[in-house]
Structure 1
Amino acid sequence: MSDTVADFILSRLKQWGITRIYGFPGDGISGLVAALGRDDEIEFVQARHEESAAFMAAAHAKWTGEVGCCLATSGPGAIHLLNGLYDAKLDHQPVLAIVGQQGRNALGGNYQQEVDLQSLFKDVASEYVHTMMAPGQARHLIDRALRIAQARRSVTCVIAPNDVQEAQAVEAPPHAHGTVHSGVGYQAPRLLPADKDLAAAADILNAGEKVGILVGAGAIGAETQITQLAETLGAGVAKALLGKAALPDDLPFVTGSIGLLGTQASDWMMRECDTLLMIGSRFPYSEFLPEEGQAKAVQIDLDPTMVSMRYPMDVNLVGDAADTVEALLPRLKPKTDRSWREKIEKKTAEWWDGVEKRAKESADPVNPERLFWEASSRLPDNAILSADSGSSANWLARAIKIRRGMKASLSGTLATMCPGVPYAVAAKFCYPDRAAVAFVGDGAMQMLGITDLITVSKYWRDWADPRLVICVLANQDLNQVTWELRAMADSPRVDKTQDVPDIDMAAYAELLGLKGLRIDRTEEIGPAWEAAFAADRPTVIHATVDPDVPTLPPHITMEQAKSFMSALVHGDSEAGGIVKQAFKRVTDR
């Protein structure tokens, strides 16, 4: 049979280097499903839900730097993609969504599953969303969508009515007026600031006596340059959450995470520095940056529209992190006074000593920080880590020491529930020879992660290294929201909204042919991690953790303290345990 438009779409995707599509079938994409059946090169990963498919595509982009691609049917399937696509959009990841639509003749007729997809996707795919109304559009729509996704680091969308998918392909448009002749390929430019701006930035950094550096996801890949920069300036380096893997935590001047989930060392550095350098970060919480006017400031970012948004910068350097720092280094003068650096290293060492001490505090039944602390030293080399939004993200940020070669990510700006497991699943498809670990709360696990375990059971035998460990923090509580109620809403725990059913995730894993382990006592933590990393199949660890162990911010405002006390006074159901655990942690600080 002649190639259809759907066959042509797959062929064009392959020319662009797309080798994997995450999705779920439906009759709105029957033409594409049939074409996938005729193709033996593109891998199709069947997620259990389109939301998971979009999360996997977003994670694919984060883990590899390539465009992630997801596929969904018309109407409800397309709608289900949205949360995962917003995760990609807000974290600036290149993702192409291909979605089906009803036949052209039916459009506008209130047909079954007819949704105005152009309007639906116009925000999440604001850089590019188009409907393929004729076979001759297939070439330039796919080309533009992929090129824009890469150039703008954004989500793009191509909507394909099912009758167009099944039509005969048009390989090349005629050489005539009104036709488009697009080509394949995108080469990223080398973006560097002007010499005068580099000189101005160097003047500020050279004059600073107490330089603090903040790096984010945009600094990933610039470890060598930033390490040399920090050594030259005698500076410390704090990390925004998406920049967790930008520098390893065993460097003594890396102060760790910043913000509500951050370390006291990072907080101290930002409060005391006289010069701030932000690299590849749009960290939004100004209360954790220096007070306005306290520090001279320089920012390095690829996006000229996002510089000087979080702090009033004296110099903005628009460019790639690694190349810009490389160009800046010859202009910098090594600091001879290392007293600032020595204080930073001392504060950082004290922080990690405190993490270990707090992790070893008793809890009922298991201290969640101990769970992460014990995992940290046992993580395989080059492991890929993900966490869901919630208290699991807090402990990942604070208690896991990232080593060279590791990757780590989560939903940063959207901070949505449920990406933890699909991120880890995508990691196994991208790097089947590396171990992956997901830390997930029981709320997120029950919302979507439980279905992703079925996806794991379907595919794990294809992975060169079968180790995928999903650690479920089971506390029968939507814990992050509970603590937010106490700290920011003057409210005690609302039991009827916060209670989570007690489901044995280890037993559920065993039903699927995976390995299931339980941690119900402190002494079981280390052996469970060792068994999981020695297993011959994916493992789910069901860890019964204490919901009353607080993740205290590095500094507590008077408003937070008042709200917290109000929650206790007004009859929080966990008041006794909270007071006990909070007292331990405050006295350890």
Structure 2
Amino acid sequence: MTRQVSDHVLERLREWGVEQVFGYPGDGINGLIAAFGRADGRPAFIQARHEEMAAFEATGYAKFSGNVGVCTATSGPGAIHLLNGLYDAKLDHVPVVAIVGQTARSAMGGSYQQEVDLQSLFKDVASDYLVEVNVSSQLPNALDRAFRTALARRAPTTVIIPSDLQEEKYEAPEHEFKQVPSSSPGTMSAPRVLPPRSEIERAAEILNAGTRVAILAGQGARGCAAELTRIAELTGAGIAKALLGKDVLSDELPFVTGAIGLLGTRPSYELMRDCDTLLIVGSNFPYAQFLPDFGQARAVQIDIDGTMIGMRYPTEVNLVGDAKATLAEMIPMLASNPNRAWTTDIQENVARWWQTIEHQSMLEAKPVNPMRVAWELSRRLPENAIITSDSGSAANWYARCLRFSGSMRGSLSGTLATMGPAVPYAIGAKFACPDRPVIALVGDGAMQMNGLAELLTVKRYQSRWEDPRLIVCVFHNNDLNQVTWELRAMGGEPKFEDSQTLPDISYAEVARCAGLAAISVDRPDAVGPAWEAALSADGPVLLDVHTDPEVPPIPPHATWEQLKDTAEAVLRGDPGGWHLIIQGAKTKAQEMRPARRG
């Protein structure tokens, strides 16, 4: 049987170790779909309900596996639908390869059906590598470069293959002029990049000179838990975590202050407010107002990407290198800080904060406090759980209320902050780690946007997962809650119900219609038992938790302007009215409660 170009594409994917491709069919990739049919599930074609979901699933897979995620879509509208998920990968520095169909070469330029200028369409999102293959001898080099670039640059890349070429006989590149061969795919060894020793010594001198050291760790510090812990022990530092770095270090460590920024904790805010020295490791955290005042702290930054360094704070020493290797070189140069008053304050603030979160989570609300949903989960999280979160107010509870420990992993759309990735991320995570439980925290706006449809994908593929647990928890408050609070706190505007109120629906009933187990919760005392039932189930479960939209996602330092604007929103006729004022006052008051000893 003559081997077609499409067969070679899948063969090359197998050689790269690809086990599944997330996608949606269409006639622009008919040749590839036929090849999948001949490939006996190697790799498997995983059918999402929408191309955007396929890109999110590939991104989620890449985030939790460390390997390249692969997605595919047809020409025209299918290719366009991939963009949001690919931008999510681009902004969070995740390796994804998109294989996209195109109109037949004979029709190009003729305003043919579904003909879109894909090179222009993808030139930004796939700026690190974008190629259209027009003769079969361009393969396998084009695919290999797409994979190698995605891995090296931690970025999405795109290979465009016209539909007619997919069905042609494959002819390998020859050893002649204007032919480009390629070496066999294989595991790329990551370089051990180290800054000059003299620069590491300069950085160590700055840390040794500090008396109140703060560390900000981002996703680039993943795998550096031992090194960060040792530096904190030597310098007496506290460690705050950027949102994408939530799983970098255990929250059980007494010097870990938790998340930073609008979704962050008060100990992280105070750590940055009062420090005299700052070490930034693998983070591109953009909100300078949550970092020390300019000129307050001497600062050092470590990042593998020199283009992202020294751009958020006036750092004195910038170390371009692998975080783990650079920290390991620095540790012997650090002296033990004899002043432990700073460390004691940090640890007391952290202990008090977790008590505050518990108090806030247990406050009465109508009908269920959303913080309690996350807090009760936190008390029951398996040590190897993977948690995904959507954007919006769900991200607040994910960032603040969950205590990570053990080998827990978690992620969300950190930089693009797009709605809708939690459920497809969870699906990607199950393919990356089929032996681990996965939990998606989703607002009802995101659930209505695309999560409901992906429940069908969960049902379809659940038998492939060794650990069958995939839990989708919906914060059911009939409100686009984050935007509602932004209107109030940043603009002084009342909730505009025409844009903010969501149609009511039973997510539990929809899940049951999709063939999944579901639990509805509308009482605070039922939250814990619902989590226990879901975590002990022998298959996927949806939790439909009716939560109070007026529980405020209060930032760690609410400014006078934010408080004034919220009050103005109430006076202008906010439909939440005094309930939101009372709920906000009760929540804020928990920060004033005396700390519990022990």
For the criterion TM > 0.5, the same-fold answer is yes
Does 2:455 align with 1:453?
A: yes
State whether residues 127 and 148 of structure 1, in contact with CA within 8 Å, keep that contact through their aligned partners in structure 2. yes
* Equivalences for residues 30-45 of structure 1 within 5 A: 30-40=30-40, 41-45=42-46
CA distance in 2, matches of 1:586, 1:525: 23
Q: Which amino acid aligns with 1:459?
A: Y
Aligned to 2:106: 105
CA distance in 2, matches of 1:554, 1:380: 28
Aligned to 1:116: 117
Q: Which amino acid aligns with 1:579?
A: I
Aligned to 1:270: 272
Give 1:427 deviation, angstroms.
Answer: 1.0
Give 1:225 deviation, angstroms.
Answer: 1.2
After superposing the two structures, state which structure 1 stretch, 186-195 or 265-274, moved more.
Answer: 186-195
Does 2:349 align with 1:347?
A: yes
TM-score, structure 1 normalization: 0.99
CA distance in 2, matches of 1:84, 1:216: 21
CA distance in 2, matches of 1:565, 1:553: 16
Aligned structure 1 segments of 4 or more residues deviating by more than 4 angstroms: none
Q: Which structure 1 segments of 5+ residues have no match?
A: none
CA distance in 1, matches of 2:439, 2:507: 16
Give 1:31 deviation, angstroms.
Answer: 0.8
* Equivalences for residues 126-275 of structure 1 within 5 A: 126-171=127-172, 173-183=173-183, 184-185=185-186, 186-275=188-277
Give 1:562 deviation, angstroms.
Answer: 2.2
Q: Which structure 2 segments of 5+ residues have no match?
A: 592-598
Residue 414 (structure 1) aligned to one of 409, 413, 416: 416
Q: Which amino acid aligns with 2:182?
A: S
Give 1:510 deviation, angstroms.
Answer: 1.2
Cα deviation 1:38-62 (Å, max 9, x = unaligned): 1132122111110000001111111
Q: Which amino acid aligns with 1:536?
A: D
After superposing the two structures, state which structure 1 stretch, 577-586 or 280-289, moved more.
Answer: 577-586
Provide the secondary structure at the position in 2 that maps to 1:548.
Answer: coil
Residue 465 (structure 1) aligned to one of 464, 467, 477: 467
Give 1:559 deviation, angstroms.
Answer: 2.1
CA distance in 2, matches of 1:214, 1:286: 12
Aligned residues: 588
Does 2:570 align with 1:559?
A: no
Q: Which amino acid aligns with 2:4?
A: T
Aligned to 1:330: 332
Does 2:53 align with 1:52?
A: yes
State whether residues 514 and 540 of structure 1, in contact with CA within 8 Å, keep that contact through their aligned partners in structure 2. yes
Aligned to 2:594: none
Give 1:577 deviation, angstroms.
Answer: 1.1
Percent same amino acid at aligned positions?
54
Q: Which amino acid aligns with 2:167?
A: E
Provide the secondary structure at the position in 2 that maps to 1:126.
Answer: coil
Aligned to 1:88: 89
Provide the secondary structure at the position in 2 that maps to 1:305.
Answer: helix
Give 1:208 deviation, angstroms.
Answer: 0.5
CA distance in 1, matches of 2:216, 2:80: 37
CA distance in 2, matches of 1:81, 1:366: 36
State whether residues 368 and 547 of structure 2, in contact with CA within 8 Å, keep that contact through their aligned partners in structure 1. yes
CA distance in 2, matches of 1:318, 1:547: 44
State whether residues 247 and 404 of structure 1, in contact with CA within 8 Å, keep that contact through their aligned partners in structure 2. no
Cα deviation 1:155-199 (Å, max 9, x = unaligned): 10000001111111113x221111112223432211111111101
RMSD over aligned Cα, in angstroms?
0.9
CA distance in 2, matches of 1:552, 1:324: 37
Q: Which amino acid aligns with 2:14?
A: K
TM-score, structure 2 normalization: 0.97
Give 1:20 deviation, angstroms.
Answer: 1.6
Provide the secondary structure at the position in 2 that maps to 1:130.
Answer: strand
Give 1:428 deviation, angstroms.
Answer: 1.0
State whether residues 5 and 135 of structure 1, in contact with CA within 8 Å, keep that contact through their aligned partners in structure 2. yes
Cα deviation 1:103-138 (Å, max 9, x = unaligned): 100000000111100100001001111111111111
State whether residues 61 and 69 of structure 2, in contact with CA within 8 Å, keep that contact through their aligned partners in structure 1. yes
CA distance in 2, matches of 1:312, 1:381: 38
Cα deviation 1:320-352 (Å, max 9, x = unaligned): 111111111111111122111111000000000
CA distance in 2, matches of 1:428, 1:62: 12
State whether residues 440 and 472 of structure 2, in contact with CA within 8 Å, keep that contact through their aligned partners in structure 1. yes
* Equivalences for residues 304-453 of structure 1 within 5 A: 304-453=306-455
